[in-house]
Amino acid sequence: MKFPKNFVWGSATSSYQVEGAWNTDGRGPSIWDAFCQIPGKVHNNETGNIACDHYHKIKEDVALMKDMGLKAYRFSISWSRIMPQGRGEVNEKGIQFYSDLIDELLANDIQPWVTLYHWDLPLALQLEMDGWLNKNISDVFTDYAELCFERFGDRVKNWITFNEAWVVAILGYGQGVFAPGRISNSEPYLAGHHILISHAKSVKLYREKYQSIQNGKIGITNNCDWREPLTHKPEDKEAAKRALEFFVSWFADPIYFGHYPKSMVDRLGDRLPKFTEEEKQMLIGSTDFFGLNHYTTMIAANADEVVQGSVYGNGGLSEDQDVNLSMDPSWELTEMKWAVVPWGCRKLLEWISERYDYPDIVITENGCAYDDKLVNGEVNDQKRVEFFEGYLNACSEAIENGVNLTGYFIWSFMDNFEWASGYDKRFGIHYVDFETLERTPKASAKYLGKLIKSLS
């Protein structure tokens, strides 16, 4: 494997999935606190109330990161922990928690990468403003972002405004399987539109007021899985391209080109909101890097009649794309039933590079879930080791082919609350016993630690 000299090696988590302390020290409720209280919405009716108790274990967790040789830790800020109502009053105890975490990371030579929004909207904003359906939320988000820039920007040099806006829009406002649990064929596009405007406003603020002083970078992270055409027929190739556009280009095209993909404009009509000229200008160039979360690959075919359920969790609203998705039966599947296809990662990196004129790309999440067991104090997760070997080799090949890949973050640092899957899906490279909350490095953590140290 060959990686650039200053390549960033990191791991990632998100606030609601690991912190716990859901009502501690003045934290306000989020939409996930409410969603988890609805019976049947989460596996085994589990919640993130305690999760991994990262809130009380930051020194222990950072020590594990240092032992691995990680150079960066990507975490998200719980908006309602520092602003319990989403706006107005600031909770200083919440500010102190993140300040202490940042200081602990820096003391151990680990750079903090901070995500401002990883799906946990303050519940008050959902109740009072209809969350991301209200255009005015862009100003509320920008005020929240500025608070973070003010309090943490002297030490944080890498910011991500939103994690996976596609998930917020489609799973939260389209299919209703994630908080806030709404079902609609139009609300996802409105929510996504307002997220993009919120991103643009906060980046504009950061660049005009803070970037020259704090010398940081700011961007956004989008998720996308590769779409391989079923055949060489033009209609299947076009279907695969269309599926990618409805996935990642939905949020990337406005930032690089100032408008939505033509395939979306043509197919959605009035359901797709329009940007004002001012918004277009704010959006164009509003990222210093291309953040990418990537997990799997599926086969795409043109469809005159879409097979219902064929795109659940991996592509969008089926009736808008006319694409059927499938998998090669020979592909190995993870516990999430996601296929392990390393070459799909390389192809996606190359597709993004060509479409967006070779930007700096950071893989901000890549990983897999397996049914890990602790046996005699060890977790021998060889399938995960093989997963990382395959995907890192694909990344190295992409770099050799001209992709400007500058960083790679493992999802996730430790087993955690995996949203609607609860604690059933283990993505972590550190095993967590959710009764004792003890952490145990898995074989994958040891493998990655040796690899990172050798490549650094």
Q: What is the pLDDT of residues 393-437, one digit of tens each?
A: 999 999 999 999 999 999 999 999 999 999 999 999 999 999 999
The answer to the question of whether 295 is labelled as a binding residue is: yes
Give yes or no for a contact between 213 and 150, defined as CB atoms under 8 angstroms apart: no
What pLDDT does 304 receive? 73
Active site residue: 104, 228, 279, 365, which one? Answer: 365
Query: Would 260 be classed as within a structural domain?
Result: no
Residue 2 placed within a domain: no
AA identity, residue 12:
A
Span 116-127, pLDDT tens digits: 999 999 999 999
Distances (CA, A) of 163 to 12, 148, 366, 430: 12, 16, 13, 22
* Confidence tier at 318 by pLDDT (50, 70, 90): low
Q: What is the pLDDT of residues 170-218, one digit of tens each?
A: 999 999 999 999 999 999 999 999 999 999 999 999 999 999 999 999 9
pTM (two decimals): 0.96
Residue 331 among known ligand-binding residues: no
Cα–Cα dist 39/47, whole Å: 11
Active site residue 164: yes
- Does residue 119 lie within any of the structural domains? yes
The reply to whether 273 falls in a domain is no
pLDDT tens-digit series, residues 156-171? 999 999 999 999 999 9
Q: Is residue 386 part of a domain?
A: yes
Domain assignment present for residue 36? The answer is yes
Domain ranges, residue 337 = 8-249+286-455
Residue 419: give its domain's CATH number. Answer: 3.20.20.80
Is residue 418 a known part of a binding site?
yes
Active site residue 238: no
- Please tell me the total count of domains within the chain: 1
With respect to residue 280, please indicate whether it lies within any of the assigned structural domains. Answer: no
- Is position 430 within any domain? yes
CA angle in degrees (0–180, nearest 5) for 438-442-444: 150
Residue 2 CA, distance from chain mean position? 25
Which one is catalytic: 164, 187, 228, 245?
Answer: 164
